[in-house]
Structures are given as C-alpha cells and as structure tokens.
Structure 1
Amino acid sequence: MKTIYIPVVATLLLTVGCSSGGNKKAEEVNEVRAEVISIEPEVNDEVITDAATSATSLAKDVTFNGTFVLSPQRHASVTLSIDGIVKNISLLPGQYVRKGELLATLENPEFINLQHNYLDAAAQCDYLEAEYKRQELLSREAAASQKKFQQSKADYLSMKSRKEAAAAQLSIFGVSTQALQTNGISPLLEVYAPISGYISNLQMNLGRHISAGEPLCEIIDKNNTLIKLMAYEKDLGKIKIGHRIEFRVNGMGDEMFEGEIISVGQAVDNVNRSLEVYAKVMENNELFRPGMYINARIVQK
C-alpha cells in the first residue's frame, strides 16, 4: 500500500462590521498541520477478450476460450468407392456401434461383376498354372518347344495379375476372397463400422442412391476427447507442453475439470495474432460433446 502526504491549508476569513466613521477589516489565517491520507491502489481484474478469436488474457493468469474436438483417428467418415442403393439399415443418430459391426447393405450390379471377375480369374489361373508347369517340365526334357513354354508362362502370369487385381478391388469393400470362394457371390454389399463410437450425421435411408465418395454417416469416438484453445502470441512464453489446465464447460455450471497441454501451434494468424493450443482431457465425462464451449486457465505451479 502506497502512502501519500497531502498538505491541507485552511484559510479563515473573518469580516468585521463597520461603524459610521469607517470600516474596519481583520483577516486571520490559521495553517492546519498536514493530515495523513491513506489511499489503496485500485486493482483491475478485467478480462480482455478478442472479438475475432474469443482468445482471452489476464494480467496474472493465462486464460483461454475453446471447444471440444476429436483427433482424426477418433473421427471416421463411412464412404464407399462405388455407387449403391440402400437396401437395409438399422441405425439411429447417437447410436453406439462397435468396430466391425454391420451398418447397412447396398445393392449394385457392378459389385456382383467384381465378384464374378475374381472367381473367373481364379479358376483360369489354376488351369494356366498347371499348364505352365507341364510345359516347363516338357521344355526341360526337350519334348516341347520353347515357344509353347514361353506362351504358357505369359498366359499364366497375365491371369494371375488379373486375379490379384480383382482381389485388391474386393478387399476395398471388405470382401474376403476365401469366403467368396466358399460361399459364392453375394448380391449385396455389406458396410461395416471402421471404428467403435457413436453414429453422427447419418445420411442413409432405405432406397436412397449413394454416390461413390458420398458419406453414409460418421462415427465419433469420445474416449480421447481433445480441447482446442485459442491463445494470443503474447502469451506464448507462458504456454508449455505438459502444463496442466483447469476448465469449465458451458452448461455444466462451475464444476472444474483438468487437462494437459499436448500441442502448441506453430503458425500465428496474421490478422488477430492468435494460435491454436491443444490439450487432452484427463478424465472423460459422458456429457462432453465435440463443439461444446469451454473456458480454461493454466494451473500455476
């Protein structure tokens, strides 16, 4: 507390009344000893907020605004590289599915042709392989011409390549060639969940035509929720990987949660001079949702 000494002077002016013969004036000045006045300096705890980025800054604490986000490994878009018409579906938005679970079946004649091409190539490949080995044996015994041997070898390798190409195409759709050879051609393309999580942005319904590359739905895994924070470049020296943070979530009252900074952005926005900071949530909550707003601060050690 700063003490300021201020001299206070009191002047007393007295006027005395006059008689008929003249006026008499008297003035008395008294100096009063300086009084000690104690002044408490004003503390300003105002939070400065950037209207463009919502990044915030305090004189003492480094604070941020941000949202919950998902890492790319925890957010899957279910798409196909082939057209199809939805024949069966049993999903609802927000429904939990496990990795490998059947999501829907689609119909497309081209998918049937792919299976036929593989089975045909596989059958011919077996025959041409046997013929190639026979011609190779005859060639060693000089009972057959080298020309026939070379032709059989070329036919076999060409068909083997066709078989492998067909198998690669089917693997994109999750079709096992071993199961195909055992069970035969399937009329419907089955779509399975690539990860475990909750269904979001569902775009399928019975009878709808889905174009190649068009998302059927999205799956979000909230087990490892991240926080994306916006910070000022002037606070960069106070932000380190490994720093602990405390944060509140909009709509969840004053309850405090903990996190840890795991990544600091390397690019500063040229307009608002802010950068992205990512933190992991130390303990997940079922109420957390991607996109929810939060307010966080670095825990001072």
Structure 2
Amino acid sequence: MKKIIYPFLLLALIACKGNQQPADTDETIPVATAKTDSMAQPEVDAVTSATSKPNQVSFNGRIVLPPQRQATIALTMGGVIKNTSLLPGQHVNQNTVLATLENPEFITLQQTYLDSHAQTEYLQAEYERQKTLSAEQAASQKKFQQSKADYLSMKSRQDAAATQLLLLGVHPETLIQNGIQPLLEVKSPISGYATNVEMNIGKYVNPGEALCEVIDKTMPMLCLTTYEKDLADMQVGSPVQFRVNGMGTKVFYGTVVSIGQKVDEINRSLEVYATIKEADPQFRPGMYVTAHIQKQPVATK
C-alpha cells in the first residue's frame, strides 16, 4: 500500500523545525573587545629594568656625595698608630685629632727644619753684611758670592723641610714656638662622619695608606643610570622626583645638574647627576633610589 504525503503536512513539518531553539549549554564563546588605555604602557629596559613613559622617564640610581664632601685620611709618612679613639659612624669636626703616629723620621724632619731655620738666619745676616761691604768695595767679590750661595742653599733646605711638614699638617711656626713634637697628629680636614676605619693601636701604616674616611652628608646627590635613547628629552635643569628604598612611598625632589658625556661601551649607559632639594637625615650614601626625570618641552620658535 502506498503512503501518501499531503503537501500541507510537509509545509507544517518544515515550519516546526524552523521554530526550534538550540539547547542551552554551559559553554560560552568569548567575545573579543577592544579596550582603549588612557596611558601608554611603559617601555622596560632589558639591562636594568628602567622604564620610560610618554611624559617622564624612570631610572634606577643611588645616593652619592660630591667629591668635596668626602675625604680619605692618608699621610705621606708612615708610622705606628700610638693612640686613637675613633669609632665608625662617629661625628668629628674639622681639625679634630683622629689618631697619633710614632715615627723617628718625623722627629728627624723637625730637627732638619729647626737647624736649617737657625742657619738661614745666620747666613742671611752674613750675606747682607758682605753685600754692603761689596758695594763699598771693602770686601772681595768672591766672598760676597760665596755668602750669597750659602744663604740661598740653606734657605732652600729650610723651605723643603717646611713644605714636608705642611703636607703632614704641621705648621713650622708652631714648631718654632713649641719645639719638636714626639708624635704626629692625624687631623680631619672636614667635618662629618667617620667611615671605613682601618686603624688600631700598634698597627703600622704605610705612606699613602688610608686610615679612614670622613663624609659630610649635608649635601647628598643622586647618581642615575640613563641611556642613549633618553638623551634627547633630558637637559640640565630638568626636575626630578624620586623615592628611596626602605623609606616607604615618600617622594623627594631634585634637579638635574650634570649629564655624562661618555657612553659605556657595554650597556650603552651613562650617568646623570641631580641635586636634592631637601635632604633627609636618614639619607646614606649608597642607598638605592627610583627616580622620574620630567621631560622638558621642546621650545618652538
């Protein structure tokens, strides 16, 4: 028996299939959306992780001291440390005695100066007398020339000894008044804090060997590492904002005062120095900082 499918039934089946809804599933299809960031992401340097943004540049660096604010204590004459009470971190004033040294050569040098000083006075008087007699033709020219040579030779010896004493911090005038000093006093040339103390009683120190250092923290600076690509947007006078490791989120301010003129051949970096507007008493040389150098607008004509 043949099955007969009427046309209107076929149309109804097709309509029902078109109205069916897909079954709900737990899977969702992610939709890609475009997000516009109001600030460009910083560029990160591959060497030191320094970053840069469109309007400012971020650098790593450290707190340093200018050369005029630190002194290495060393003498041109060696000796044995006879006495010292200096401790690391101790504050000392300018001309404070840091230690005393014992050296027989120091006594000999003082004796040389005193002897030559006395001889110079005598020879100078004799030279002046022979000069007067020579002018009056009462003495031979030979005696006059000999007295002049003796005087100048002794005077140069006196001056040489005086210069050596000054290098050791001893004033010849004081030596004439007070006589020979048995010990050489080591004095601080600046006021500040003692660091790297490398001396103790009984230790022999060689000429030129550092005994300690004295640092003046009243005017610290920043030493920042920068790169070739940032030089075009940087100049002396650019404002600096920085934070110090270990001091929280407090922000300090400074100004660029010097930009290095030689690029390191290995990492293509150079150093930038900046003064600090208000130094904190907690600042220590060597502390790490993160700084932002504000880019200067290009002047238009």
Q: TM-score scaled to structure 1, two decimals?
A: 0.85
Aligned to 2:181: 186
Residues 112-127 of structure 1: matches in 2 within 5 Å? 112-127=107-122
Q: Offset of 1:139 from its aligned partner?
A: 1.9
Q: Does 1:136 align with 2:135?
A: no
Take 2:154 and 2:128, find their aligned partners in 1: how far apart are those partners? 15
Q: Deviations over 1:201-256 (max 9, x none)?
A: 00011011010010000011111101011112111122121111111110011011
Take 1:244 and 1:50, find their aligned partners in 2: how far apart are those partners? 22
SS at match of 1:218: strand
Contact 2:130 2:143 in 1 (8 A): yes
Q: Deviations over 1:85-131 (max 9, x none)?
A: 11111111011111111111100000101100000001111111111
- From 240, 248, 273, the counterpart of 2:235: 240
Take 2:214 and 2:86, find their aligned partners in 1: how far apart are those partners? 12
- Inter-CA distance 114–21: structure 2 relative to 1 (3 Å threshold): farther
Aligned to 1:255: 250
Aligned to 1:156: 151
The one-letter code sitting in structure 2 at the alignment partner of 1:204 is M
Q: TM-score scaled to structure 2, two decimals?
A: 0.85
Contact 1:53 1:274 in 2 (8 A): no
The one-letter code sitting in structure 2 at the alignment partner of 1:221 is D
Residues 170-181 of structure 1: matches in 2 within 5 Å? 170-181=165-176
SS at match of 1:62: strand
Structure 2: 5+ residue runs without aligned partners? Answer: 20-31, 297-301
Aligned to 2:61: 66
Q: Does 1:202 align with 2:194?
A: no
Take 2:111 and 2:85, find their aligned partners in 1: how far apart are those partners? 29
Contact 2:241 2:293 in 1 (8 A): yes
Structure 1: 5+ residue runs without aligned partners? Answer: 1-18, 31-36
Take 2:189 and 2:228, find their aligned partners in 1: how far apart are those partners? 39
Take 1:230 and 1:272, find their aligned partners in 2: how far apart are those partners? 10
The one-letter code sitting in structure 1 at the alignment partner of 2:230 is D
SS at match of 2:283: coil
Count of paired positions: 277
- From 86, 92, 96, the counterpart of 1:97: 92
Aligned to 1:147: 142
Aligned to 2:106: 111
Q: Offset of 1:41 from its aligned partner?
A: 2.5
Contact 1:56 1:231 in 2 (8 A): no
- Inter-CA distance 46–183: structure 2 relative to 1 (3 Å threshold): same
Aligned to 2:214: 219
Contact 1:53 1:272 in 2 (8 A): no
The one-letter code sitting in structure 2 at the alignment partner of 1:168 is T
SS at match of 2:56: coil
- Inter-CA distance 104–167: structure 2 relative to 1 (3 Å threshold): same
Aligned to 2:29: none
Q: Offset of 1:146 from its aligned partner?
A: 1.2
Take 1:40 and 1:55, find their aligned partners in 2: how far apart are those partners? 26
Contact 1:64 1:230 in 2 (8 A): yes
The one-letter code sitting in structure 2 at the alignment partner of 1:184 is G
Q: Deviations over 1:248-277 (max 9, x none)?
A: 110011011111111111122233222211
The one-letter code sitting in structure 1 at the alignment partner of 2:87 is L
SS at match of 1:279: strand
- From 66, 73, 76, the counterpart of 2:71: 76
Aligned to 1:169: 164
Contact 1:225 1:284 in 2 (8 A): yes
SS at match of 1:224: coil
SS at match of 1:237: helix
Aligned Cα RMSD in Å? Answer: 2.5
